[in-house]
Amino acid sequence: MNRDSLAPPFRHGGPLGRAHFKVQPEDFVVEELLGFEPSGEGEHCLVWVEKRDLDSNTAGARLADALGLRRRLVSHCGLKDRHAVTRQWFSLHMPGQASPEPAALESEGLRVLRITRNTRKLRCGIHFGNRFTIRLREPSFDFASALQRWQQIVSEGVPNLFGEQRFGHEGRNVEKALAMFRGEFTPGDRLLRGLLLSSVRSHLFNAVIAERMERGIWDQPLAGEVYGFPDNGTLLLINNQRGDEAQRFAEGNVELTAPLWGSGELHSADAVRALEMEVASRFPELTAGLEAAGLRQERRVMRLRPIHPALIALPAGDLQLAFDLPRGTYATTVLRELAELEETRETP
The SS3 call for residue 216 is coil
Bridge-based pairing of strands 340-343 and 18-21 is parallel
The DSSP-derived string for 221-264 is --TT--EE-TTS--EE-GGG--S-HHHHHHTTSSEEEEEE--BS
- Residue 335 CA, distance from chain mean position: 13
Supply the residues annotated as catalytic: 81
Of residues 39, 61, 3, the one with CA closest to residue 203: 3
- Residue 83 CA, distance from chain mean position: 16
Q: How far apart are CA 32 and CA 160, in angstroms?
A: 19
Residues 6+ apart with CB under 8 A from 275: 208, 211, 212, 215, 222
Residues 6+ apart with CB under 8 A from 158: 11, 12, 303, 304, 305, 333, 334, 336, 337
The neighbour count for residue 9, using CB atoms within 10 Å, is: 16
DSSP conformation class of 44: E
Q: How far apart are CA 81 and CA 24, in angstroms?
A: 13
Q: How far apart are CA 113 and CA 176, in angstroms?
A: 40
Q: Determine the residue type at 120.
A: R
